[in-house]
Structure 1
Amino acid sequence: MQSDRPRHRAAGAAGGAGGNSGSVGRTTLVWLAVIGAISAVAGPVLLSPYAIKSVGEGSVGVLRFGGKVLDEIKAPGYHFVLPFLYELIEVPVNVRTTEVRQVPCGTSGGVLVYFPLVEIIHRLHPASVVSTLKAYEDYEQAWIIDRVRHDVKLLCARHSLHEVHIDKFDQLDDMLETASAWVPGLMIVAARVAKPTIPSQLHGDFVRVEEEISKLKVAHQHEQLVVRNAEMERSRQVMAAENDRDIARMTMDRQVEETEADLRIHRIQDEMHLTRSKDHADAASYSKLREAEGNERRLSPAFLEQARQKALYQNLEAYYGNRMPEYVKVNSNSNRLDGGEGGSVGSEAARGAAAFWGRGGHG
């Protein structure tokens, strides 16, 4: 009996181990069955076209989970999205044109007209996509279409029909662009406004106004042409007068320069003549000075005596006859003729005459 107890406990232990391994195997099989079932159900869903989304070029993708816009931005391309849990919203960020048709315009005069088409060219910055979608579900409707109608209404209320249709129509584009602040991140590139349609009963009046304006423009252009031609003629005359004045100034300057040159030439000639005259005078003075010095050295007493004797005999008159003329007075005592100066000459002449007559001279 005692020997059978251990054998029985050993058999019981072996049976317990076999029971545990069997339970583990059953659990594993259960999990494998669950995973297989999930894979069988989710596999076609995950591999279906609903799980693969694409974002086109010029747009970005934004995920929405349970109605909430997530902060993640998807770039252009293919993206995997869990169907029925996430929604991928494609938002354009390139330049787009939004058309707003039949925009009413009530002018300050009470006339209602319609702009058939208003085009807004805009672009949403990629960094502002999430904040714009969170704040406005449809920003294009809220900030472009509705805003255009509101701004056109305000602009028309401050202007008359004539201003809206004619005078300030070319300014409506710029006025519409700067009318109010747009949503942050939304850039307005340009705005184009079509010509408003006016009531038929006012169309004829506007046609006549347009004709009058055209005539006025033609007259104004003709007036400007006449004024421009007059200004051109005046400018031409002014230029001709200035040209004549410049020519006269140049001629006068040339004459002044020629006169100054002549004056300088005459001055130089006068200076040369004066210099030559001074040189001649100096030369003549020097010549006479040298002549005087020569005469002073040459007129010695012997030379003077010789000259005196020569002059005496050159002026001697000879008379031939028996008697001496009465006018010849000989004063032998005083040795002079008639008491004049040069007694020695007279004495010599008297002595010569007496000697001549004494020798029987005659005239």
Structure 2
Amino acid sequence: MDTRTQQQTERAPRPSPGGGGFSAIVTVLIAFLSFAALVLVPAFSTASGNFSILHQVPEGYVGVYWRGGALLKTITNPGFHLKMPLITQFEPIQVTLQTDKVKDIPCGTKGGVMISFEKIEVVNRLQKDYVYETLLNYGIQYDNTWIYDKIHHEINQFCSSHTLQQVYIDMFDQIGEKMKDALQGDCTQYAPGIEIISVRATKPTIPRSIKRNFELMEEERTKVLIAMEKQRVAEKEAETEKKIALTEAEKKAQVSRIFMEQKLMEKDSVKMQQQIENQMYLEREKILADANYYRVMKEAEANKLKLTPQYLELKFIDAIANNSKIFFGDKVPNMLFDQRLLGNFLNDITKKRNLEM
């Protein structure tokens, strides 16, 4: 090492006795920053929220606070809020719909059979205006009292008053509605801020031997239903065939009736035509008879006017003149009357007729 290097080494500064103060400052600074981070950084959990000033209330919740174990009436909405660390405790309370699942609920039926409901879901909501009153009376775990414990009680009450057949099959579809009414009735009376929306129950677990009996019963019931359905289908088919036959018969009857009406109309038409022809014939014969009668009457009147002695003598002479036979003998004069005797005879007839008229 040369002389220059040795001199620089000798002139290098030595650490001063006050270097330990800087480390202390750094330690205090780190502690202060840690405390500030703990106090100022918003808390998302209850454990860290008790040591922080700034805390956050998530959406769907409200913030409630305790000071010295006493519940404060202060209720905060979602967002960032300030509180006194270590002195004021904070807890977010859900005010939107939530589902409480109550599991493994044993109960005994009216007949003494032990069954178990694997899960019952209760959809409920705590109304915002009743948060303080509900927590004041029943605490943060209010749902243990009015949902979990209440469901156990109501299920046992329901099972103990009904048989296994009713619980497992006949009235199973009514369990949810009955539980809802029972829970809501008590909540309305004692905890009005709790609103029960719906209750869903799973099929209870029953002993394996009894379950097998139910399965056999269900199989037999299914067979009966199938037989009834087949019978109903057969009845429907028979009814359909009957309706088809009735429809066909009615159609044929209507067609036959139409043909019969058509024939009757044709007969009526022929009858009317015959009546018209008969009427025409009668009228024509009547006219002919009247004409003949009129002609005969006129001829009679004419003959009556011709019935005179002169006309009769003329006719007698014409008849004798036209006779080509001549008779001889003693009796002939008796046949040929004297013309004067004939004339007197005709005059007597004419007078009698005139008197009668």
Verify same fold: TM over 0.5. yes
Corresponding residue pairs, total: 295
- Partners of 1:325 and 1:84 in 2: CA distance: 195
1:230-284 Cα offsets, whole Å, 9 max, x none, are 3213322431353245235424642563365246425533542343134314422
* Structure 1 position 190 matched with structure 2 position 209: no
2:318 alignment partner, one of 310, 313, 317: 313
Deviation of 1:208 (Å): 3.4
Give the secondary structure class of the aligned counterpart of 2:56. Answer: strand
Report what 2:17 is aligned to.
none
Report what 1:141 is aligned to.
144
Report what 2:159 is aligned to.
156
Report what 1:233 is aligned to.
237
- Partners of 1:270 and 1:110 in 2: CA distance: 99
Range with greater deviation from structure 2 (269-278 or 301-310): 301-310
- Partners of 1:215 and 1:312 in 2: CA distance: 135
1:291 alignment partner, one of 276, 292, 295: 295
Deviation of 1:293 (Å): 7.0
Deviation of 1:131 (Å): 3.2
Q: Label 1:267 to 1:139 Cα distance change in 2 as closer, same or farther (>3 A).
A: farther
Report what 2:181 is aligned to.
178
Q: Which runs of 5+ in 2 are unaligned?
A: 1-35, 43-51, 350-357
Write the letter of the residue equivalent to 2:56.
S
- Partners of 1:153 and 1:103 in 2: CA distance: 8
- Partners of 2:59 and 2:280 in 1: CA distance: 107
Alignment map for 1:247-326 (pairs within 5 Å)? 247=251, 249-251=253-255, 253-254=257-258, 257-258=261-262, 260-262=264-266, 264-288=268-292, 291=295, 295=299, 301=305, 309=314, 313=318, 316-319=322-325, 323=328, 326=331
- Partners of 1:84 and 1:229 in 2: CA distance: 78
Report what 1:53 is aligned to.
55
Deviation of 1:145 (Å): 0.7
Give the secondary structure class of the aligned counterpart of 1:336. Answer: helix
1:116 alignment partner, one of 111, 115, 118: 118
1:148-171 Cα offsets, whole Å, 9 max, x none, are 111112122223445544554444
1:186-245 Cα offsets, whole Å, 9 max, x none, are 3333323334445xxx42x22531342133123212321232133213322431353245
- Partners of 2:307 and 2:345 in 1: CA distance: 24
Q: Label 1:272 to 1:57 Cα distance change in 2 as closer, same or farther (>3 A).
A: farther
Q: Give the alignment's TM-score, normalised by structure 2.
A: 0.64
- Partners of 2:252 and 2:347 in 1: CA distance: 82
Identity %: 22
* Structure 1 position 93 matched with structure 2 position 92: no
Report what 2:12 is aligned to.
none
2:109 alignment partner, one of 95, 107, 110: 107
Deviation of 1:319 (Å): 3.4
CA contact (8 A) 1:93 1:123 kept: yes
Over the residues paired in the alignment, what is the CA RMSD in angstroms?
Answer: 4.1
CA contact (8 A) 1:45 1:83 kept: no
- Partners of 1:146 and 1:90 in 2: CA distance: 23
Q: Label 1:267 to 1:52 Cα distance change in 2 as closer, same or farther (>3 A).
A: farther
Write the letter of the residue equivalent to 1:190.
S
Deviation of 1:312 (Å): 5.8
Q: Label 1:234 to 1:342 Cα distance change in 2 as closer, same or farther (>3 A).
A: farther
Report what 2:342 is aligned to.
336
Q: Label 1:121 to 1:55 Cα distance change in 2 as closer, same or farther (>3 A).
A: same
Deviation of 1:313 (Å): 2.7
Deviation of 1:175 (Å): 3.3
Q: Give the alignment's TM-score, normalised by structure 1.
A: 0.64
1:54-92 Cα offsets, whole Å, 9 max, x none, are 33232333455662342x654333334454565554222
Q: Which runs of 5+ in 1 are unaligned?
A: 1-42, 345-363
Report what 1:223 is aligned to.
227
Q: Label 1:192 to 1:324 Cα distance change in 2 as closer, same or farther (>3 A).
A: same
Deviation of 1:97 (Å): 1.3
CA contact (8 A) 1:114 1:196 kept: yes
- Partners of 2:88 and 2:116 in 1: CA distance: 43
Write the letter of the residue equivalent to 1:239.
K
